Amino acid sequence: MTLARLEAMKGIYLGEDVERTGQNKIGVVGPRLAGLAAQFIAQGLTKEQVLPGLISLVRNGIPGKMPAFKHLTDGEILAIGDYVWGLSDPTWEDDFAREHGRAPSAQDKADRDWSSAFLVANGRPPADPEWRKHFQDTRR
């Protein structure tokens, strides 16, 4: 597996939409895998403990959820696992830029903070009328 091939697959690991292609025309995008290493580390598991388990998972697949990739060698599977392990979870700023085509402004960050504080205080995200009031209050 070449680095170029891994880079081409990066969208899958970051949870981005990808075109459905491939030999079997399958390729459903699953959950975002970036930042997955932190979840294992939080459970006290090391990369050396986790990655060998990928070999049988990838080779055998998950019935009804993930196809088997019997053609990949152990080395290729471990290379993919090592690559995914090294991906960091995109920040809110990364997600914002990808969705809006620009970096978030100070006002965008203030709106995010207001929304988060509203959620904590009220146990739910703000509804449209609350957003309108917030928008009017901050634009005066």
Q: Which domain holds residue 52?
A: 3-86
pLDDT of the chain, 140 residues: tens digit per residue: 445 544 444 444 444 444 444 444 444 445 556 677 777 888 888 889 888 888 988 898 888 778 889 999 999 999 988 888 887 777 788 888 888 899 999 999 988 888 888 888 888 888 888 878 887 888 77
What is residue 73's predicted lDDT score, i.e. its pLDDT? 93
What is residue 34's predicted lDDT score, i.e. its pLDDT? 66
43, 60, 86 — which closes off a domain?
A: 86
Tell whether 51 and 115 lie within a shared domain.
no
Q: Hunting for tokens 């990066």 — which residue is that?
A: 10
Longest CA span, the chain: 62
The amino acid at 14: L
Domain count, the chain: 2
pTM here?
0.47
Tell whether 16 and 67 lie within a shared domain.
yes
Give the rounded distance of the alpha carbon of 37 from its chain centre. 12
What is residue 32's predicted lDDT score, i.e. its pLDDT? 59
